[in-house]
Structure 1
Amino acid sequence: MLRLAHIMERICTYAARVAGLLLFALTAVILYEIIGRQFYNTNSVALGELQWHLHGVIALLGFGYAYTRDAHVRIDLVSQNFSQPFRMKLEILGIILFLTPFMILIIQHGSDFAYRSYIRSEGSNGGLGLDHRFIIKSIIPISAILALMGAYSVVLRMIVVLRGNLKDPYESKELWKS
């Protein structure tokens, strides 16, 4: 069980590292556009769109990784008073009942969204921006898959903790070796 959790966590970590590398590309595109606009009086719709696309990819690729690191948004107002085993059971239930159906919807509709974009050869409005809009749209279902992988990696670890074979799914350093 921990082996499968580790594999899913590694995939999420790899996606987050790709997102981290894309930060350099985003920075380069922004600098190139600023220098071009300020010193050479140029303006590019495509570069502006590329910035938005890179920003979106960076944000979306990090969801699964954030879940494996317990860095996602959560309201602990009520659950902070519960015992750790009860909180873990609540987390598992939340993942199964809420996160999973929502991510499945995103995967289904996001895949359809990207596919229709591909079939139509959708590009930028006005023709001055980027072509192949399906590429950025395909990141939507991919990020939902990564979010599910990250969440179920945590679920598997929590099950091991609840069985008494592990202390804590987040604090046990041996689990998070890269």
Structure 2
Amino acid sequence: MEILLRLSGVIDAVNRLFGKFVIWLILAATIISAANAIARKAFNIGSNAFLEIQWYLFGAVFLLGAGYTFLQNAHVRIDVLASRLSMRTRMYIDIVGILVFLLPMCWFMIDFAWPVVMAAYVSGEVSSNAGGLIRWPVYALVPAGFLLLGLQAISELIKRLAFLQGKGPNPLLQGAHDGQDDIHGEEAQK
């Protein structure tokens, strides 16, 4: 279990890095959006490339940030129902959800998207808009994002199994919702 927990730590570090990176993409998209609006309104200058790069950046934020969101326990949950279950039951539900739904979906999305990325790369596909951008980089965000999410799912699976074996802290009490990185104790073990 110790080796798996180290692997989990490496995956967490990678997704933390991407999480910090996508914050800057939001700033870049905001600056580009503001500059584009000012150029259009003040100077009557427009660019489809500026419009497209905005949605490329927003796509990157959502796809590359999904693994980080899972790491921080900031994803959507039905807390009204989950709060009525024991912590062990919640862990088992998460394990089944990761194994039966999340990991297969990640695999499917990577398998489905990769040929599209390669076809766009080989053909040199470009946006049909005048002055538009090449498409393969934005297409590549789909398999990259689902790869990061799938890796984080493996990390979360390891952490839940470690918790159930009494070899790790409660992963549900870590992350963005409580502002603490590591919680131990009897309350966390319920």
Same fold (TM over 0.5): yes
> 1:61 maps to which residue?
64
Matching residue within 94, 98, 110 for 1:91: 94
> 1:33 maps to which residue?
36
Matching residue within 126, 146, 149 for 1:147: 149
For structure 2, the 5+ residue unaligned runs are: 175-180, 184-190
- Does the aligned pair in 2 maintain the 1:123–1:133 contact within 8 Å? yes
How many residue pairs match? The answer is 174
The letter for the 2-side match of 1:111 is W
- Does the aligned pair in 2 maintain the 1:69–1:170 contact within 8 Å? no
C-alpha separation in 1, matches of 2:86 and 2:129: 57
> 2:136 maps to which residue?
134
Matching residue within 10, 13, 21 for 2:13: 10
Q: TM-score scaled by structure 2?
A: 0.86
Q: Is the aligned partner of 1:51 residue 2:54?
A: yes
| CA RMSD across the alignment | 1.5
Displacement of 1:119: 1.5
The letter for the 2-side match of 1:49 is E
> 1:20 maps to which residue?
23
Q: Is the aligned partner of 1:157 residue 2:182?
A: no
The letter for the 2-side match of 1:144 is F
The letter for the 1-side match of 2:152 is G
C-alpha separation in 2, matches of 1:119 and 1:10: 33
C-alpha separation in 2, matches of 1:67 and 1:126: 35
- Deviating above 2 A after TM superposition, structure 1's stretches of 4 or more consecutive aligned residues are 74-81, 170-175
> 2:173 maps to which residue?
171
> 1:121 maps to which residue?
124
- Does the aligned pair in 1 maintain the 2:8–2:159 contact within 8 Å? yes
- For residues 81-128 of structure 1, the C-alpha deviation after alignment (integer angstroms, 9 at most, x for no partner) is 221111101101110011111110100111111111111110011442
C-alpha separation in 2, matches of 1:9 and 1:170: 14
> 1:70 maps to which residue?
73
- Does the aligned pair in 2 maintain the 1:45–1:128 contact within 8 Å? yes
Q: TM-score scaled by structure 1?
A: 0.91
C-alpha separation in 1, matches of 2:130 and 2:123: 14
